[in-house]
Amino acid sequence: EDQVTQSPEALRLQEGESSSLNCSYTVSGLRGLFWYRQDPGKGPEFLFTLYSAGEEKEKERLKATLTKKESFLHITAPKPEDSATYLCAVRGGSQGNLIFGKGTKLSVKP
């Protein structure tokens, strides 16, 4: 069965304190790994798509990487506005639907 596990569930950082979020997955035939950001009361907002091991993508203070078993979302020198829940999802299998993890709630204190 396709599965996505994110850790930690919650992460509290001081402004400027870099860290990483983990997304471990098992899927039959990966057809994309997706990172989304979700703010309270809003829908998920797309950040990155990764398709093959070794691939990396960057956007401002965020960098996503992918291996055959997991993905990391690295946050460099975070700011309070980076506070949100970060969701990881994979697409695989015959139906190709997105399977989401439970998310990591990130809080960045000034």
Report in angstroms how near the CB of residue 91 gets to another protein at its nearest.
7
Nearest to another protein of 72, 100 (CB atom):
100
Nearer to another protein, 78 or 103 (CB): 103
* Closer by beta carbon to another protein, 14 or else 94: 94
Nearest approach, Cβ of residue 44 and another protein (Å): 5
Measured CA to CA, the distance from residue 20 to residue 97 in angstroms comes to: 26
Q: Which spans in 1-110 are helix H?
A: none
Measured at the CA of 46, the angle between CA 44 and CA 26, to 5 degrees, comes to 85
Q: Which is nearer to another protein, 19 or 49 (CB)?
A: 49
State in angstroms the smallest separation of the CB of 16 from another protein: 27
To the nearest 10°, report the CA torsion of 43, 50, 66, 95.
Answer: 80
| Contacting positions for another protein (CB under 8 A) | 31-32, 34, 36, 41-46, 49, 85, 87, 89, 91, 95-100, 102-103
Which residues are CB-neighbours of 44 under 8 A, at least 6 positions away? 36, 37, 38, 87
